[in-house]
Each structure stands twice: as C-alpha cells, then as structure tokens.
Amino acid sequence: MQTSDDVQDDDTVQRQHLRAARAMLGWPLHTLSERSRLSLSTLRRLEEDATVVSAQSRMQAVAALRGGGVRFVRLDGRVVGVVLIGDLVTARTVP
C-alpha cells in the first residue's frame, strides 16, 4: 500500500473523514467548534453533508483537526485515510 503526504485538497476530505478525525482526537463537537471558530450548527452540517457548507468553513475545520495532530492521507492514490500523528502504525482508514 502506497501513501502520500497530507491531502492538501480540502474538498477531498468528506464528512466521514471529519467525524473519524474528531473521534480519534477524542474531541466533542464543542471542542472542534472552539478550535475552528465555527458554530456548532455549521459543524453539524459539515458532518452530515460536507457539500452544503462553504469551502472556507470546511478549510477551518480541517485546519483545526490538523492542528490537533490529525493528517488526511491518500492511500493507493484514491482512498483518504485519517491518521493521528504518533499513531502511524495503527493508522485507520475511512472509505
């Protein structure tokens, strides 16, 4: 399995990746809200359907998760995996 560095195209990061990243960090929604400076309702919409929220909001959420130590990596050139830095051996993927 080949991996590439942190996915830079935030549009590639989907709702399931956001939820998985938040779960890996053990962050309740309000923690992500504080760190991303996004409202709880915006984050709920992102996690329900990431396409209905502005690109700027998605970028803020992704940046906050990256700041917490999460990386979004491309596996075999197509699937995005969610990795917690320091936990690379037990990397988990989300289809």
Number of domains in the chain: 1
Which residue type sits at 9? D
Which CATH number do you get for residue 16?
A: 1.10.260.40
**Residue 25 scores a pLDDT above 70:** yes
Strand partners, 59: none
Question: Over the stretch 65-91, which tens digit does the pLDDT of each residue have?
Answer: 999 999 988 877 766 788 888 654 444
**What is the Cα Rg of the chain in Å?**
12
- pTM for this prediction: 0.79
Domain enclosing residue 69, as ranges? 3-93
Task: Provide CB contacts within 8 A for 89, sequence distance 6+.
Answer: none
Residue 6 pLDDT level (bands cut at 50, 70, 90): low
Q: What pLDDT score does 3 carry? A: 47
Q: What pLDDT score does 89 carry? A: 41
What values do phi and psi take at 46, rounded to 5?
Answer: -60, -45
Which residue type sits at 55? A
